[in-house]
Each structure stands twice: as structure tokens, then as C-alpha cells.
Structure 1
């Protein structure tokens, strides 16, 4: 498993990271997947305080506590659970971030978080307060670096211009190429992309056609367009999942692919696809088959 430097930081992450949201809620079952990831040299693990009301962080913390020095641990903040335990509200205040980080540290059983990410963001946020919160946590040694998980161009642009963020997590895949419009902005600010949704809800796997037949539309793709595109991608000389993974990895701004797995079998399929070479010609054909859409909302 190759590694990449994350933005302007001194942190390196494995090209595949484990997205922990999909982990089983049973500790023993989750341990098997995380151990399998470690055995296959995956060093980046991504969770959030929101996932399963904090229980996901506990599971990840229990599974990785004996490997802490060998891994990069990331979590997120900003979504505050309601007192009733049902639903949540957006709270990017310094008071909440400062409180939430200690709760995450406790659940993760660690003294520091490698990458702390704002889990969303709006133009109504006091971005200076958010950045001050993150910088203060860095000075205290509670986090090493910070970033933001957002698909809103206005929010991303403002955050990058004012902060020392090292990562942006965005949904990005062959079927959702909207982030490509902003890659020059990421390069300019020396920030890495953490790609989620790289397999487009399984549409870019061997099960893609079955899923497409059950999907009315996907983003700007109608059902007919989706089926046609997947047929063309599957007709290439390389497995569709390998093409999907390497298409994202070929981008200079990409740091890691955040891949979810609810079983070791699923994770193995992704690792095997990752290890399959894909020619530049195939990647070029894949880009010609798919759309290069842009975000229509939250424009600068």
C-alpha cells in the first residue's frame, strides 16, 4: 500500500483509508475488519462523533488502541446531538468544538487526533472562530492538523483562504466529477483531497448494473444514461472498480480514498481492485465516457 503526504503537513496517509461509518456495531466483528485493514497496510482510519451517536468512535478506539503510534486517526466535529438523543443541530462554535474534542479523545482512547475535520459548514458560520478553535487545539497538542468535510464551493473557498487546513473531504468519483472544477484551488493552497463515495454507492463495482437497474437516477444521470455509462465502463479491458479507484488516485490533489466496508470480504475486493494496474489510456477513455458536471448550488 503506497502512502501520500497530506497537504502541507508532515502526515502521510495510505492511499486507501478505512471509512469507519460502515463498520458493524458489534465490537468483535468490527475488530476483524480493522485488523484486516492493518494487515493490508491501511494506516488511515476515518470516523466522526456523529456516527451512531458516538458509538462508532468507541468501537474504533477499542480496536486501534494498541496500534495508535502506527496509524493516522481522523474524526469530525460540528454536528451536535440533541439532548433527546434524536437528531442533531449544527454547532461550529468554539465552545462546542472545544468540548466535543475532549469527548472524542475519550471515546477514541487517545491523547491526540491526527486530523480533526469540520463536519460540514455554512456561509453563516463564524469562520474566524472555527479556525481559531482549530489552531488553539493544535497549540494544545490535542490535534495535529485540521480540515473540512464539505461539498460547498463557497464554504471551501473561504475556509482555505483563511486557514491552515491540510485536507478537504469531498464526494468524488467517475460518476461525480464536480470537485474537479476546484482542484486548482486545492493545489494552490497545498491541500489534499480525501475522497469519499469513490465507488458511487456500489455503482462502480461488479454489482453496478444490478444497482443501476434499481436506481431511478444518480445526480444528473437519468436511469438510461446511468445504465449506458456503466455498460461502457464495464466493457473496458480493466475491472470497473480498479478503473474507479485509479481514476481518483491519478489526481495530484488526492491524498486518500476513504473506502467503507461492512465485512472483510468487501474490503478485500477494494484492495484487490486497488492492486490491479490501470493504463492511462483506460483512464482517459473512462473520463470520456462520464460527465464532468459542476456544482450548481453554493457558487462563489
Structure 2
């Protein structure tokens, strides 16, 4: 599988990574998916301490324990569980980040994290303190590089201007083209990569996604618009490829995008995604057809 350099780092990630959130908690099944991904050339695994209350990290750690050198491992921090309370609270403090990374390392059974990402962020955070935490962890060799996972342009701009991030993870797909407005041009200018999550839009942008398109809405799409777009992308020239191929290749057509990270809850799903990601890049004519048929969504909050 093709690899791309992640920003200014020396990490070269597979063009399709594995978003691990949907692996589930059945250890044998999840491990089989991870091992198949590695065998098929995927080297980029993305998780978070939030997923399944840390169980996701534990499963990944066990699965790659004897193959750590083959993996570019990414996880996230910022959502803190408070004993005795349901759910999570946001905590981007230096003290919490330095504490949380130790727990992630323990669960992942490793002594370093390739890409440590802030799992959100607001302008109300003490951003300088947050950056200081990541920089210290990098200097100590606990993490190799750091990034941010966010859909907020105002927060992304602050980290681009003030920190040493090498990547921004953001939702980006044919149905969610918001990064094209401001984020992708900014990252391209600064030599920072976008990691595109949700490229299949919860399964809508797949060959069998018609039933999933029958929903009330998706961003600014109505159900009728989703159904019409699904049909157009499945049948309209010059898109003479599967919808899954079109959907995974569309974000990768932007040079600022280093990887797409669809999830997989089964081996069959993983193999279908790998086959689609291995298809030829979209031609300029194909990309233009996608843009002509879909909406150039705009950010209305946190701009």
C-alpha cells in the first residue's frame, strides 16, 4: 500500500489507516482485524484513551505486542474520566496530559507513542500549557510527534500558529467537505498533514449504503438529497468505479491529506476498504464530478 509522509515528521503512514474505535471489545475478533490490516500493508493504527474506557488501547497493545516495530501508533488524550461520575470531562491541562500518557503507555504495552493527539480543544483552554505538555513528552522520548483531532477551524489555527503539530485529524468526506474551505489550504501552506476520519460517512458512502442513506439528515443533507447523491455517485459517468473506491480516494486527492482512516468491525469490511483504497487515484474529471454533485459544506460554528 502507498505511504505518505505525515507533515514534517519522519513518519510515513499508509494511505489508508485503521480507525480502531469500531473494533469492539471481543479480543480475538479485534486482534484478527488488526493482524489482517498489518498483513495487507496498513501500518497506521489510530485509537484513543476514550474508546471503550481504555479497553480499545488494551486490545491493540496486546495484538501488536510482538509487532510494535511494524506499527505507527496514534492515540489521543483530553477526555478525563472522573471516579464516581458518569461520562467524561474535558481536561487539556499539562498535569492531566502527563498523567494520562502513562496510562496509555501501560494499556498499549509500549514505551513510546508515535503520534499523540489532543482529542478536541477549545479557545478557553490554556493552550500554551497544553503545548508545553506535548513538547516535554516529545523531548523525553515518550512521544515521537503530536497533533490535534478537531473540526474547529479557530482551534486548529491556534495550534498551527503556536505549536509543532505535524497533523490535524478531522472529519472529511464527500458528504463533509468543510475542511476544503479553510483548513486544507492552511495546512498545505504550513506543511501539516490532514488525517481524514469518517471518509465513508457512517457507511452511507459505500456500495451497500443506500439503506443507511435513508435517514433524517447528515450535516446539511436531507434524506432525499442523500438518496439522490448516493444514486448519482453509483451510476454517473465518469465515475466508473465503486462508490467505496470513490469515497476513499476523494479525500486522498488533496495533497494535504496523508491518510484516510475508515473503521472496520469485521474482516470482510476491512478487506473491502483495503481493496477500495488500493484503486487508482481519482482523475481530475472524476474529482470535478464529485464536487459538482455534492455540497461544498461550510463551517458555521467555531470559525
**TM-score, with length taken from structure 1:** 0.97
Q: How far 1:279 sits from its partner (Å)?
A: 3.3
The SS at the match of 2:67 is: helix
Which residue of 273, 293, 297 corresponds with 2:297?
A: 293
Q: Give CA deviations for 1:167-195 in whole Å, capped at 9, x if unaligned.
A: 00000000100011121110122110010
Let me know the Cα RMSD of the aligned residues. Answer: 1.0
Task: Measure, in 2, the Cα distance between the counterparts of 1:207 and 1:85.
Answer: 40
Q: How far 1:85 sits from its partner (Å)?
A: 5.8
Number of equivalenced pairs: 298
Task: Measure, in 1, the Cα distance between the counterparts of 2:224 and 2:176.
Answer: 17
Matches within 5 A, 1:65-214: 65-84=65-84, 86-181=86-181, 182-213=183-214
Q: Which residue of 1 aligns with 2:272?
A: 269
Task: Measure, in 1, the Cα distance between the counterparts of 2:166 and 2:83.
Answer: 33
Aligned structure 1 segments of 4 or more residues deviating by more than 6 angstroms: none
Task: Measure, in 2, the Cα distance between the counterparts of 1:130 and 1:223.
Answer: 40
The SS at the match of 1:203 is: coil
Task: Measure, in 1, the Cα distance between the counterparts of 2:3 and 2:84.
Answer: 42
Task: Measure, in 2, the Cα distance between the counterparts of 1:102 and 1:93.
Answer: 15
Task: Measure, in 1, the Cα distance between the counterparts of 2:276 and 2:178.
Answer: 24
Q: Give CA deviations for 1:245-290 in whole Å, capped at 9, x if unaligned.
A: 1111110110111110011100011011112334332222111100
The SS at the match of 2:36 is: helix
Task: Measure, in 1, the Cα distance between the counterparts of 2:252 and 2:131.
Answer: 29
Q: Which residue of 1 aligns with 2:259?
A: 256
The SS at the match of 1:66 is: coil
Q: Give CA deviations for 1:131-161 in whole Å, capped at 9, x if unaligned.
A: 0000000000000000000001111001110
**TM-score, with length taken from structure 2:** 0.96
Q: How far 1:62 sits from its partner (Å)?
A: 0.2
The SS at the match of 1:80 is: strand
Task: Measure, in 2, the Cα distance between the counterparts of 1:281 and 1:189.
Answer: 28
Task: Measure, in 2, the Cα distance between the counterparts of 1:167 and 1:100.
Answer: 20
Q: Which residue of 2 aligns with 1:31?
A: 31
Task: Measure, in 2, the Cα distance between the counterparts of 1:230 and 1:28.
Answer: 35
Task: Measure, in 1, the Cα distance between the counterparts of 2:12 and 2:84.
Answer: 39
The SS at the match of 1:89 is: strand
Q: Give CA deviations for 1:44-92 in whole Å, capped at 9, x if unaligned.
A: 0000001111110000000011111111000000000121262010000
Name stretches of at least 5 consecutive residues in structure 1 with no aligned partner: none
The SS at the match of 1:118 is: strand
Task: Measure, in 2, the Cα distance between the counterparts of 1:86 and 1:54.
Answer: 15
Q: Which residue of 1 aligns with 2:285?
A: 281
Task: Measure, in 2, the Cα distance between the counterparts of 1:160 and 1:178.
Answer: 18
